[in-house]
Structure 1
Amino acid sequence: MNRLILLISFFIATTSCGHGQPENKSQIIPGAYQLADYLPLLKDKNVALVVNHTSMVGPSHLVDTLLSLNVNLKKVFAPEHGFRGDADAGETVKSGVDVQTKLSIISLYGDNKKPTAKQLAGIDVVVFDIQDVGTRFYTYISTMHYMMEACAESNKPMIILDRPNPNGMYVDGPVLKPAYQSFVGMHPIPVLHGLTVGELAKMINGEGWLNNKIKCGITIIPVENYNHKNQYSLPVKPSPNLPNDLSIKMYPSLCLFEGTVISVGRGTYQPFQQIGHPDFKDLPHVFTPESIEGMAKNPRYENQKCYGIDFHQTDFGGGFSLAYLLDFYQKYEEKDFFNSYFDKLAGTDELRKQITNGLSEEDIREGWAGELNSYKVLRRKYLLYEDFE
């Protein structure tokens, strides 16, 4: 055990987890790396993990790390995209047995989003370790919510190994209305919520958002040397269609296009780095979506040329912008620009109505400013790290 911990400590000391950090800043160290802080909590316990391909401890997956330390792992719960992260968005994630470890894999996507009491039977503690990207509609936090709820109902403690939020320096967008709660929006928070998963778990508990306001017994292993001012480059792509820093930066603004007729580049190797439509032939950038296994099996406008914008050629600084959505809405001449998914992603029907009524981005932002400011006050209660303000 000591040998592995030393190996991981050496890896931390000789590699960079947080790219772009000033040289005089200390290394950012995710919670999963801090074995000495949570291994005692797993000793002689039957352990279940909620993990995926991002759950790395240096060069080793958390599953392999804990097995090598003789932790009694019983099963793995897998979120959207699967345990190995090779399933397309919305694709069925199958339960079964992991070939490499022989562990039982239980899908928490599709019809079984919340673990049953039977699935948690015999488990003493659940460990959650998944890299999030800080947006309300990214479903890993919905999986965390349902696992917290299931653990609370079965009186199981939960350990959350926290990781940095690559969009954690922003709080912006409309706040979700309860009527639009879904798996792509479980909580009354803005599009960019400015929290790590550990901070959000504290908020979920503190605000009574679990069923019947029950609370989950959580222990958070925080990230060392992280704050919400940090720029953080993810060492592992969080999902198949967020392959790099630019896609993660653009995702909060471009995901709303999934509720429209516009392609976000699924079916190419640059998803969420370009947008387009077959009719916008006056725009200079061209891409053609194709079926790509593990990324987009049936992409919108498959084998059709789309014309639009390449965000490699822009200077978008990050955060949440409506500029591209408003621009493309105005370019599109038909009335079917939005589909029913848009309101779920936006967390409200107000944004769609404001756009169709011709409001400017400034006017739209003024409409959600009050709720956003109230959320910012609420958020401060649950912060574990220094804020950007």
Structure 2
Amino acid sequence: MTTTDAAAAQSTAEEREALRQMAAEFTRREIAPHLQEWEDAGALPRELHVKAGRAGLLGVSFPEAVGGSGGDLLDTVALQEGMFSQGASSGLMSALFTNGIACPHIAAHGSSELVDRWVRPTLAGELIGSLGITEPGGGSDVGNIATTAVRDGEEWVINGSKTFITSGTRADFVTTAVRTGGPGAGGVSLIVVPTDTPGFSVDRKLAKMGWHSSDTAELSYVDVRVPVGNLVGDENAGFWYIAEQFVVERMALAIHGYGIAERSLELTVDYCRQRSTFGEPLIKRQVVRHKLVEMRRQVEAAKAYTHAVAAQYVAAGGPNEAVIAAACMAKETACNTATYVTDQAVQLHGGTGYMHGTEVERHYRDARLLPIGGGATEVLTDLAAKLLGYTR
């Protein structure tokens, strides 16, 4: 590395630290005082999206050409770490940053008209988008979705249903995976569907174990007609557009995993120093100290691995087979960390940790979704095995 390269790297590190601190301050000021209220309400207020847009948080990793800040995945890492450090929940992050799954396909492959109508205002916090892939009978099997879109003149006519859709009850549009061609992955397309279109409806809001501040919906499409121009990119190329963005989504969930784990560890260390039993602080107990060390070990390992894979992704300029496999393993590592650490955090908090509204209780519930969301661990492990050449 030359002196110039070193200076540039240092500047980038300083910029990312500034971003991390800015995100932390936004969370302290705008989120932490209200999070339990939003948990109980089961959704975030639209005003929070506006505030986040004004602060420049929503477009950090989007190109400047579509209204973003021109950052990369490592900037997203810094942003999310800053927010988790101040108590942001996994559910809140999924709902506030639902643009991260609704807009990337449009930004990368959509027409300028689609970008101007949907991406720019969403990154500004003025609109909320969702991604409609999962179906009641489909799960992670994206190549076999059943929702159809049939062309009728200058319109697409869409019929089908979607489920487990993040921000589905509040969304202004849904980037919807549909079947426009034959069976299998080669017949899937993406079409933007405004939620005020006749025939589109939110069938029900789904109650969940965790992610309470993130609204989740079941959606229905009955003869929904949208212009042919709402097609994202090329017809029947949707599966590949979805696949290229899955890496970033899985990396984001890895950050969720070690992010809530690290926060839970911090809260638990403080509690163990303050809580006394049998005349001594909990942290004086050897068994407690050993638990804290193991929690710390898992957090540090997951964090370092995720950082390494994020750097690999940025260096490669996007996903390749090695990066996709590594992202699957990083997500599993971080999700396992979240599962273990949040469980131990509740245990060490004792009865306090089991009380509704205690932060570690929230993280414990939220952690359970992470090995399922963005591709179940079992599915991603098998995908990694194929990419690593272990199936032949």
Length-normalised TM-score, structure 2 = 0.28
Length-normalised TM-score, structure 1 = 0.28
Q: Which has the higher helix share?
A: 2
